[in-house]
Structure 1
Amino acid sequence: MLVTGGAGFIGSHVVERALAGGWEVAALDNLSSGKRENLPLGVSLYEIDVRNPGAVSAAFQEFQPVVVSHQAAQASVSVSVREPVLDAEINIIGGINVLRASLEVGTQRIVFASTGGAIYGEVPVGAADETAAARPYSPYATSKLSFEYYLETFRQQFGLDYVSLRYANVYGPRQNPHGEAGVVAIFADRLLAGQPININAMKEVGDDGCVRDYVYAGDVAEANLAAAEGRTPRLLNIGTGKATTTRELAEQLASALGVQAELQAAPPRVGDLQRSVLDVQQAEGVLGQPLTLKEGLRRTAEWARSRR
């Protein structure tokens, strides 16, 4: 298995789980946000940007992947709003480079890190299942949905199999607190430094913030392994189905870290959905029950404390 973005937050968890599952694994990453130390010893790293078609092709020719777990992405909603061209260059053009290289070497399946947290748009009540209409609200969501269509086109035209995993908001060890994505990592970093946390409003300053479905990185890695092994449907939500406000998240994380939280009311962020929760009944049928937020935050807090 070749994991693009394999030295990054989610990608490195996929690498670890694939190794534990008996796969031969390599990573492809430009290290713009990933880190070489995230990779287990012995895992080959191709330090390549997916926007470079020649380099991507050469890496595929050398490793000859049977399955590709495509995690490499521009993953920030706010960056996509400011820089939609950059977002499309990485998430669409870079993805097509991966698909073309896969065809060159006879790769059997692509497992794609898509987004349920953005593609479905606002989920005002309940939870969005895989049949819900796509209502992308940001360039990031649009680029992810567009690439899902490319995957289906390549399947029909060239017979390249794929699975699209629509992630909820992923958190866990090794998440970068210095970017614009990854609220759990950002909050943990500030809480441990004794700094206040902003609760960006859902509608009006002072409310409990946006509602999200938070899924642990280990569960996401498990889903990638199941998809790689052909044990999932072609489209699958990966989350918990549980709704959590920003304020609830901050309070639970502070409790897990054993610190007091200073919470500050802040305005809504540009591009943010107000409410996003995924229906995960299909995933539970394949993978079982996801980790609870309480336990996931406990594990994440333990890692964050150890890093400091």
Structure 2
Amino acid sequence: MKQNILITGGAGFIGSNLADKLLELSHNVIVIDNLSSGSKKNLDKRIKFYKMDICDAKIVKVFAKENIDIVFHLAAQINVRDSVKDPIADAKTNILGSLNILENCRNFNVKKVIFSSSGGTIYGDAKIIPTSENSPEIPESPYGIAKLSVEKYLNYYFKSFGLNFVVLRLANVYGPRQNPKGEAGVVAIFTDKMLAKKEVVINGSGGQTRDYVFVDDVVLACKMAMESSKTGIFNVGTGVETDVNFIFSEIKKSTNSECKEIHGPENIGELQRSCLDFSKIKTTFSWQPKYDFKSGLAKTINWFKKKI
């Protein structure tokens, strides 16, 4: 059934890949994005685009006009370090901006909200790895605290107003269209720099691990969450830890780079290990990652090469 689907942050990396999939499924796609990190170049001409911040009170006009069925809420201040420097600015966007979206969802009878949360920050320094949704939620940054806050608000809106929701706690997403100028996308940063024959600096020892999930697998999880009648919180990851030194060596090989392995100071307070258990989403939605790191990386590097 054709639906009117709003993606906040839809001009960004994950949002624009999701928008393409929804168009392929013949849905009407509406995007709200302030273009702080996204780009209109990422958007198909069939998409209805509003340049707008999620904190803007005028968002009510979009909801009033577009008769929205489903909302994918991806728009956020995404820089963990910026959240540490200015937690008030982070909360204004990531908590108050999200509430602005949720209030409009409630007032205009949106059927479901799918929220992109952060599996990499929600659990903090987890004792059990891979980490399941039952693990303690101990975020160690204002960014992670804000994401967890929105999850709690979603539960409130569900219990109080019947607004259905799915929270997807994403691992470290990588793939085509990731912004190499950001702070979180190590795959994009290293690939961009090596192809440009620039120096790459690894923070700390490079032994710190993350769970890297390819963007097409994340888009598939979003699609399944939308089409399911289930409500709840689900990890989206691969269950595999990959360290930064391995990423460096793989990208170096794939790009034929001659750059040297240089290590800089470690980021203070950076988690040493993070990896998600995806058993719950596999059982509930029959989702599992189709791409291992090497196959996802090959597609990512090919995209960056074409962009040069």
Aligned 1:203-214 pairs, distance under 5 A: 207-214=205-212
Name the residue aligned to 1:190: 193
Aligned 1:166-205 pairs, distance under 5 A: 166-201=169-204
Aligned 1:228-239 pairs, distance under 5 A: 228-230=226-228, 234-239=232-237
Between stretches 131-140 and 118-127, larger displacement belongs to: 118-127
Name the residue aligned to 2:110: 107
Task: State how far apart, in whole Å, the 1-side matches of 2:253 and 2:89 are.
Answer: 38
| 1:164 maps to amino acid | V
Name the residue aligned to 1:143: 146
Distance 1:266 1:57, change over 3 A: same
Name the residue aligned to 1:281: 279
Summarize deviations over 1:184-228 as a string: whole Å, max 9, x none. Answer: 111111111112222112xxxxx3331100011111111111111
| 1:24 maps to amino acid | N
Identity %: 38
Summarize deviations over 1:253-291 as a string: whole Å, max 9, x none. Answer: 222223234211112113421111000122334223331
Q: Which runs of 5+ in 1 are unaligned?
A: 202-206
What displacement does 1:250 show?
A: 1.2
Task: State how far apart, in whole Å, the 1-side matches of 2:127 and 2:209 are.
Answer: 10
Task: State how far apart, in whole Å, the 1-side matches of 2:227 and 2:33 are.
Answer: 23
Task: State how far apart, in whole Å, the 2-side matches of 1:264 and 1:278 are.
Answer: 29
Instruction: Please provide the CA RMSD for this pair.
Output: 1.4
The size of the alignment, in residue pairs, is 302
119, 123, 126: which one aligns with 2:126: 123
38, 42, 48: which one aligns with 2:42: 38
| 2:49 maps to amino acid | L
Q: In structure 2, the residue corresponding to 1:25 is in which secondary structure?
A: strand
Name the residue aligned to 1:254: 252
Q: Check the 8 A contact 1:226/1:232 in 2, yes or no.
A: no
Q: Which runs of 5+ in 2 are unaligned?
A: none
| 1:219 maps to amino acid | D
Q: TM-score, normalised by structure 2?
A: 0.94
Task: State how far apart, in whole Å, the 2-side matches of 1:39 and 1:48 are.
Answer: 15
Q: Check the 8 A contact 2:217/2:289 in 1, yes or no.
A: no
Between stretches 288-297 and 82-91, larger displacement belongs to: 288-297
What displacement does 1:23 show?
A: 1.8
What displacement does 1:179 show?
A: 2.1
Summarize deviations over 1:154-183 as a string: whole Å, max 9, x none. Answer: 111111110000000011111111122211
Q: Check the 8 A contact 2:129/2:274 in 1, yes or no.
A: no
Name the residue aligned to 1:204: none
Q: Check the 8 A contact 2:176/2:303 in 1, yes or no.
A: yes
Task: State how far apart, in whole Å, the 2-side matches of 1:211 and 1:73 are.
Answer: 24
Task: State how far apart, in whole Å, the 2-side matches of 1:233 and 1:60 are.
Answer: 23
Summarize deviations over 1:73-127 as a string: whole Å, max 9, x none. Answer: 0111111111111110111000000001111211010000000010011135531
Summarize deviations over 1:124-147 as a string: whole Å, max 9, x none. Answer: 553101111101011100000011
Q: TM-score, normalised by structure 1?
A: 0.94
Q: Check the 8 A contact 2:213/2:289 in 1, yes or no.
A: no
Name the residue aligned to 1:296: 296
Q: Check the 8 A contact 2:122/2:137 in 1, yes or no.
A: yes
Task: State how far apart, in whole Å, the 2-side matches of 1:35 and 1:209 are.
Answer: 33
